[in-house]
Amino acid sequence: MGFLGIALDPEAPTPLYLQLKAALEERIRTGALSPGQALPSERRLAEMLGVSRLTVRRALDELVAGGVLTRRQGSGTYVTPRVEQPLSVLSGFSEDMRARGMVPGSRWVKRERGQASPTEAMTLSLAPGEPVVRLLRVRTADGRPMAVEHAVIPARFLPDPGAVGESLYATLKERGLAPARALERIRAVAATERVAELLGVEVGTPVLYIERVSYLSDGTPLEFTRSHYRGDRYDFVAELRSQ
């Protein structure tokens, strides 16, 4: 009967549940299974593929643990939706997630004051060694890790790193420091051991590395943020117009 052309080989050295896991990941990657799409029940999948429900459950459990699939109590198992972020809009992570009906969150790794490094000083137009605040955290959506975010702000704008709650931009705006524009650079990199640990992916997994420098309306640099986003959960979208 089959499901999306998936054929499992009981004679292969790879366990059936890992074959099924890889096959489902491939269907998701190629778009045969789309974000938000419901999968058949475990019983139905087992019947369609000619395997035990235990095999199906083990495959789905691993995909759920990896964030590829999402279980909804009393509803079923779904392909985890991807987040799309328009490149033309300047907004913070928390605002982005709420706009998509998701609950933003953070897991703090480090909040500290220190002296600006040469790169930070150059990027933020600071004097060498000028004090800055560094904020390192894992950003989550509906409890799932989405990004590792490392923000640096001149201490004259944000003296107390502990003042930042869920949203850095909200905290800055409360101080009359709303960013007016930003420059952002995006490239693909391999997850280092530290990034992989924080995002819950394997070392070497492709992730999106994003550098953002935001500015006040008078052109003063306000924030220098370097982030690693899970490439399997986040898309950046740009609208292009002809001249």
- Strands annotated E in the chain: 69-72, 76-79, 83-86, 104-115, 131-141, 144-154, 181-190, 206-215, 221-230, 234-237
* H/E run at residue 132: strand 131-141
End of a domain among 79, 99, 132?
A: 79
> Tokens in use for 213?
């420098």
Q: Classify residue 143 as left (phi > 0), alpha (psi -120 to 50) or beta.
A: left
Residue 124 within any structural domain of the chain: yes
Query: Which residues does residue 70 pair with via DSSP β-bridges, in sequence order?
Result: 78
CATH classification at residue 45: 1.10.10.10
Whether 71 and 118 map to the same domain: the answer is no
The DSSP symbol for 155 reads T
From 64, 79, 94, the end of a domain falls on: 79
> Residue 51 falls within a domain, yes or no?
yes
Reported as a single tens digit per residue, the pLDDT across 90-122 is 666 777 777 666 788 889 999 999 999 999 999
CA triple 62-67-69, angle to 5 deg? 75
Is a pLDDT exceeding 90 seen at residue 31? no
Cα gap 139→59, rounded to integer Å = 27
Q: Of 31, 54, 79, which closes a domain? A: 79
More confident residue, 144 or 187: 187
One domain, residues 98 and 211:
yes
* pLDDT digit string, tens, across residues 196-239: 999 988 899 889 899 999 999 999 999 999 999 887 776 666 66
Domain range spanning residue 103?
83-237
State the Cα–Cα distance between residues 197 and 231, nearest whole angstrom. 15
> What percent of the chain lies above the pLDDT cut of 90?
45
The number of beta carbons lying within 10 Å of the beta carbon of residue 82 is 15
